[in-house]
Structure 1
Amino acid sequence: MTARKTTAPTPPAAAVAADAHWSATRERLMARARPVLKLTICDDDEAKQAVANARYVEQQAKIEADRDPKDAAAQAAHRNAVAALEEAQAALDAVSIPLRFQALERKTYKALLAEHRPTEEQADDGYEFNIDTLGPVLIAASSLDGITEEDAQTYLDTWAPSEAQALLNTAFGVQREERMDLGKG
């Protein structure tokens, strides 16, 4: 589905005159990128455990280093632990597969939902869309890494259920990602 390009409306002159900062605020709002989520896949349990161990050692070394900033041995131990953690993380990153997903424009997402209406049984169960047909399409449409619908369907059909669900959850989750705070002003 192709997103059509729209031109930004011009703000009312009265609004700009009333608030000199509105123009800059508006520009920032118009320039916002849609949310992105990353799903990292790693089949190497040893690499994951090495990072967990290195993180624990680094945290313990930091506690000791913070306890006495003048203790040269504790400071050196912390620096070494940080280096070991960075090395373990680099090794994990090298064997991991990161997949990135970006939220679709609202109109595009709503159109996809409308194109994949639920079956009667799904509707009776309260579903607003057909997860079986929408899943691979949404994964492909939101993938920043070029996952095709065919690839997505293969992953959903052949991966372990929890892994397939994690893939689906990431593609759906980025559509619902919020980066706003409705707190007091």
Structure 2
Amino acid sequence: MTARKTAAPVPPAAAVAQDAHWAATRERLRARTRPVLKLTICDDDAAKQAVNAARVNEQLTKDAVERTPEDGAAKAACRKAATALADAQATLEAASIELRFQALDRKTYKALLAAHPPTEEQAEEGYEFNVDTLGPVLIAASSLDGITEEDAAGYLDDWGPAEGERLLNTAFGVQRTERMDLGKG
């Protein structure tokens, strides 16, 4: 005996069109943008250390104000520390390179994966694609800053292993970014 499958009921289009809540929800769903991840690169260790030191100093001055809220000198030191932190962060930002990557639409991502099948060795190790050939293509395809495949391949070859992995992981990571909360209610 075969089980009969019944289709889920579909509300009449006219009823859906009249439901303002659903219409607004549909518009919000259509207007969603794909996720973006940023990778910040800074070779200026002094700028990074200055920000860390300024953060510590700002926290110490905040603690001092908390202990003695009536102390005007502590409040002035706290304001000065906040300004120093802002200045250090501005210096760090100026010394940094920010790369942005956006998730591809599902069909494009699946097509890229299919176009780069794993080698026999990679397949035996459980890979579903060839990371060596897909990496530069995915980085270029998801870059919002115009990174080319040639640029990406060069970065992956020339940078240290950890930095190359970080670049590659950012391009892959944005494809797997979830902004949903199932069961929220």
Residue matched to 1:158 = 158
Cα deviation for residue 16 of structure 1 reads 4.2
Please tell me whether residue 28 in structure 1 is matched to residue 44 in structure 2. no
1:38 aligns with 2:58: no
Q: Distance in 2 between matches of 1:32 and 1:79?
A: 40
Secondary structure at the aligned position of 2:140 is classed as: helix
SS state of the match for residue 144, structure 2?
Answer: coil
The aligned length equals 174
What amino acid is aligned across from residue 141 of structure 1 in structure 2?
A
The equivalent of 1:97 in structure 2 is 97
Secondary structure of the equivalent of 2:146? Answer: coil
> In structure 1, the residue corresponding to 2:100 is in which secondary structure?
strand
User: What does residue 4 of structure 1 align with?
Assistant: none
Following TM superposition, the consecutive aligned residue runs of length 4 or more in structure 1 with deviations greater than 6 angstroms are: none
Q: Tell me which amino acid in the other structure corresponds to 2:99.
A: L
SS of 2:39's equivalent? strand
Measured in 2, the distance between the counterparts of 1:165 and 1:64 equals 42
| 1:13-67 Cα distance to aligned partner (Å, 9 max, x none) | 32344x4311112111111111111101111111100001101111222222234
Amino acid at match of 1:117: P
Specify the SS of the correspondent of 2:20.
coil
Indicate the SS of the match to 1:59.
helix
Residue 59 of structure 2 corresponds to which residue in structure 1? 59
Q: Partner of 1:7 in structure 2?
A: none
State the partner residue of 2:15. 14
Give the TM-score of the pair, scaled to structure 1: 0.89
Residues 14 and 69 (structure 1 numbering): CA distance in 2 closer, same or farther, change over 3 Å?
A: farther
SS at match of 2:49: helix
Q: Distance in 1 between the 2:182 and 2:69 partners?
A: 41
What amino acid sits opposite 2:35 in the alignment?
P
TM-superposed CA distance for 1:106, in Å, is 0.8
RMSD: 1.5
The 1:121/1:91 distance shift into structure 2, 3 A limit, reads same
* Structure 1: gaps spanning 5 or more residues: 1-10
Matched with 2:108 is 108
For the pair shown, the structure with the greater C-alpha radius of gyration is 2
Matched, 1:184 2:184: yes
Moved more, 24-33 or 157-166: 24-33
Q: Distance in 2 between matches of 1:178 and 1:86?
A: 32
Match of 1:143 in 2: 143
Percentage of matched positions with identical amino acids: 73
